[in-house]
Structure 1
Amino acid sequence: MSFKSTISEQALNLTVFLGGGLVMVYEIVGSRVLSPYVGTSTYTWTSLIGIILGALSIGYWIAGRLADRRPSQRVLAAALFASGLLVCGTVIADDVVLSAIASTPLPLEIKTVVSSLILFAPAAALMGFIVPYAVKLKTRSLDETGATVGRLYALSTVGSIAGTFAAGFVLIPFVGSTRTLYGVAAILFVLGLLLFPSAAPRQKAMAATLLLAAVVINETAGMMLAGTLGVYETDTRYSKVKIVDTVKRANGRKIRAMSIDPYIYQSSMYLDDGEPASSYHRYYHLINAFKPDFSNVLMIGGAGYSFPKQYLKRYPGKKIDVVEIDPGMTSLARKYFRLKDEAAMTIIHEDGRVFLNEAPSKSYDAVLIDAFSTMFSIPQQLTTIEAVREISRVLKPHGVVILNIGTAIKGDAAMFLGAEIATYEAVFNEVRVYKVDDSKADENVQNVILAAFKGSVPEAEGRDDESKEMLATEFPSASVRRFPVLTDDLAPVEYYSSFAQSRFVKELR
């Protein structure tokens, strides 16, 4: 075998290995690209995995037929160049495409499929050219076909494994989703050049220009947003986060807000005094009315730590444990939301359900839940009767749980609320519902507070004016249509929440 042939063989092997890895990196990063617009639900992963697998299948089929007619590294190199160009297109067009799709009244399932199809299928289909072409180019006789195919698929699979771990453990948390896509496109271009070094200068220039354009457009846009609008974007282990300084329309006060979806702010604070800017947070202070002698509280969900900071100011000497799954959120809260370490506050970076499973019984006077990753992406493991039983177990006698839900109260958009009320009623003595904005129609999507009591509800005597004002917004829970109790085995949370999302988008139009 000549030196040139050896180099060509090694280039093919490297392409197969890296190609397997790039597909997985592209897929995993794709979830992060989609999540700010369609959430991180099972629907998102199902659509992304299904569409990319379908695109790869089409690529395999086309490449197999084409390889028999034109078994040339030049064709494979052209496919890799084109795939790299399409990845650049994903980087440039994702915000525009996803904003347009998110604003439509389509069901969530359709949005996730269409988003995946437009942004990720074309490049994935061209990545599907790699293995069929490598098999054709490396097979010298029928006697060795099985061994050749086996080696190449093993090499591709090892690459896929490496790409999976690299994306999840290194690239997303430390490089970021957008810059990782720059790398995917660059590697595809380099592999194309390795396979066909004599590619026309025009092709090389086109690849370099588009990659440079993608980098310049995104980086310039990020710097302009940060410089002129006070917008900061970053990737944590779990979310793509945007932090923005803006003005609250209701009162004209300047706020800083954290967002991981296009619909609402997950946390916000007034810049002048650092107090929470979201109206629903004050309902957590109903612990004063429901458990006046409280001394130790658990909060699941930290994000910008709006309520925990206020809790520490308002209730000196009382303790709060905050369970936040994402250490990156805590870091951002310290940097941008004035979070400071306090002796009375313990921060635990762990999944809320895992913490509940391991927490000692009868540890807390109240459990406060604000753990929804986006308005319509609810951690299923915190909604089920098994989770609710764990919440009840960690509560002291006559304890209370208060949770925030983005939902309607009537109609199809209230399906999740109906299921969650039924689930809490199966465990707790009494469940009550409060409308944060009493002026909103019951059919509209809004913040709704659910309170569940481990024992009797305290009498109204001694309650402060703020508590009385909030208690006056109670909605008769008997009027909410019930749905089956949610369980770890069957919890159609995404299905229920998709109706709320569709309703909310219609309200925005």
Structure 2
Amino acid sequence: MLVLEIVGLRLVGPYVGVTLQTSSAVIGVALAAIAYGAWTGGWLADRLDPRRLLGPALLAAAVLTAVTVPLVRWAGEFLRGTDAANVVLLAVLALFLPAALLSSVTPLVIKLQLDDLAVTGRIVGRLSSVGTLGAITATLGTGFILVRALPTSVIILVLAGLTAAIGLWLSIRYGLWVSRRGRVTMAVVGFGAAGLAAVAPTPCDVETAYHCAAVTKDPHRPGGRTLWLNSARHSYVDLDDPKHLEFGYSQWIAVVAALKPPQRVLHLGGGGFTLPRYFAGTASDQVVLELDPELVKLDRRKLGLTTGPSLRVRTGDGRALLAQEPADSRDLLIGDAFGHLVVPWHLATVELTRDVHRVLQPDGVYALNVIDGRARRFVRAEAATVAAVFRNVLVISPADALAGSRSANFVIVASDAPLDEAAIADGVARAAVSAAVVEARGWAGDAMVLRDDHAPVDQLLSS
């Protein structure tokens, strides 16, 4: 059950994003399945011989688990997006029926064990303890071992096979011999599910511990490559021209950097390494803090990433690695870390911003890429958060996005040294993707300052 829940999040993530909403939907659906399955299993245990139900319940759960992969991958093509209804529906398809059947097993086992009411507490306590230990083992084993070693589809199909084997053994043990036709049917379903999983559309070239990653070619530029992470268009790289910046936010950061070409750059988030490649010809030292080591390997294979003394990569959580950086060591720090389309909440708080301030030289510049919708609640809160630490803060985005007419990328630029707002405004207005500039404090108004104790990033974005 816990393996299915953890892997289910990874199965639906490429289509609806790995956000707080997605996690909440998966956990909520799993709990609903546990409640419904336990209630139904208890009801059946009081009316039928539990020994005749255990094997069939597990066999049915195995079949439904096996078809989860093709079901979600086909349905996911039609349910893409972060709409709440799509998120919940895809979570239901991934989890509810197999989880409910697996959850019905516990009351059946308790009914078989309760021969003497005098030891009811001991039996229920023992089974609860064994179930909890199994859940702990499944959670740690899946999170630390299985996800790293095996693709999601393989984990689910192996889980289905093991569940079917246990169900078949229990059926035989309690005299419910499965006919030859039944065994053939189960084999056909199992191999059919595996075959459907193999041919079902998948958005991944590589499935890492954190991302479903894919690289596609740009039909209009021979060297153009787009990196997709969890079905979101994340980075663009031109293999033939590292100075080509496709996305507007990267053009605006380049405009800011051009006013005082940086020598020592720190990147909080690597992605496709677009900006590290852009600055490679001028910066003498660049360090990229990237969470996902497998993504770095993909960048080397398909996006031409080359590292060396002047461009180094450190893998791990960006905030933890940032804390290890020496004070006053960088003249430009770029924040470009995302989970799907969301800046991870612990990289958006005032405490993180203070650490950025510590790492930057007195005249250093912090450039933070943020995505937000028309309500602009998150980006305004983030602007207020950065302004609580730095003296001078600007926000760059298209004029209609700044006015709340559409969603867009926003770049928050901050420094203790004066920022040449006129030069920045002129530069971003002439960029290929033009933008406007506003002073952050007046634009953010009374927006909340995000803190480690209270940073409702997902809720601000979804409002």
Please report the TM-score for the alignment, with normalisation by the length of structure 1. Answer: 0.82
Match of 1:268 in 2: 236
| Greater alpha carbon shift after TM alignment, 208-217 vs 182-191 | 208-217
Cα distance in 1, alignment partners of residues 429 and 22 from structure 2: 42
2:384 to 391, 404, 422: 422
Shift of 1:276: 5.0
Q: Secondary structure at the match of 2:66?
A: helix
**In the alignment, does 2:450 pair up with 1:489?**
no
Match of 2:326 in 1: 360
Cα distance in 2, alignment partners of residues 472 and 100 from structure 1: 33
1:243 to 206, 212, 215: 215
Cα gap change, 1:209 to 1:254, in 2 (>3 Å): farther
**In the alignment, does 2:288 pair up with 1:319?**
no
Cα gap change, 1:246 to 1:188, in 2 (>3 Å): farther
| Greater alpha carbon shift after TM alignment, 128-137 vs 434-443 | 434-443
Match of 2:247 in 1: 278
Q: Secondary structure at the match of 1:69?
A: coil
Cα distance in 1, alignment partners of residues 139 and 178 from structure 2: 31
Shift of 1:402: 0.7
Percentage identity across aligned positions? 29
Q: Secondary structure at the match of 2:393?
A: strand
Cα gap change, 1:439 to 1:496, in 2 (>3 Å): closer
Cα gap change, 1:276 to 1:456, in 2 (>3 Å): closer
**In the alignment, does 2:363 pair up with 1:402?**
no
Shift of 1:331: 1.2
Q: How does 1:372-411 map to 2 (within 5 A)?
A: 372-375=338-341, 377-408=342-373, 411=374
Cα distance in 2, alignment partners of residues 469 and 34 from structure 1: 40
Query: Given residue 200 of structure 1, which amino acid in structure 2 is its aligned partner?
Result: S
Q: Secondary structure at the match of 2:115?
A: coil
The 8 Å contact of residues 291 and 365 in structure 1, kept in 2 or not, is answered as no
The 8 Å contact of residues 381 and 444 in structure 2, kept in 1 or not, is answered as no
Cα distance in 2, alignment partners of residues 439 and 126 from structure 1: 48
Please report the TM-score for the alignment, with normalisation by the length of structure 2. Answer: 0.90
**In the alignment, does 2:179 pair up with 1:212?**
no
Cα distance in 2, alignment partners of residues 38 and 487 from structure 1: 27
Question: What RMSD over aligned residues (CA atoms) do the two structures have, in Å?
Answer: 2.7
1:80 to 54, 58, 64: 58
Residues 223-251 of structure 1 deviation map (CA, whole Å, 9 limit, x = unaligned): xx8xxxxx75222122222333343xxx4
Cα distance in 1, alignment partners of residues 93 and 132 from structure 2: 26
Cα distance in 2, alignment partners of residues 309 and 142 from structure 1: 71
**In the alignment, does 2:139 pair up with 1:164?**
yes
Residues 374-401 of structure 1 deviation map (CA, whole Å, 9 limit, x = unaligned): 11x3200011111111111111011111
Shift of 1:354: 1.4
Cα distance in 2, alignment partners of residues 252 and 302 from structure 1: 23
Residues 443-489 of structure 1 deviation map (CA, whole Å, 9 limit, x = unaligned): 2222222111222124878x9x9677349732324445652111111
The 8 Å contact of residues 47 and 112 in structure 1, kept in 2 or not, is answered as yes
**In the alignment, does 2:297 pair up with 1:302?**
no
Query: Given residue 430 of structure 2, which amino acid in structure 1 is its aligned partner?
Result: E
Shift of 1:71: 2.1
Shift of 1:288: 3.3
The 8 Å contact of residues 324 and 352 in structure 1, kept in 2 or not, is answered as yes
Segments of 5+ residues of structure 1 without an aligned counterpart are 1-22, 226-230, 500-509
**In the alignment, does 2:4 pair up with 1:26?**
yes
1:182 to 146, 153, 157: 157
The 8 Å contact of residues 205 and 212 in structure 2, kept in 1 or not, is answered as yes
The 8 Å contact of residues 401 and 408 in structure 2, kept in 1 or not, is answered as no
Cα distance in 1, alignment partners of residues 324 and 278 from structure 2: 27
Segments of 5+ residues of structure 2 without an aligned counterpart are none
Query: Alignment length, in residue pairs?
Result: 455
**In the alignment, does 2:189 pair up with 1:258?**
no
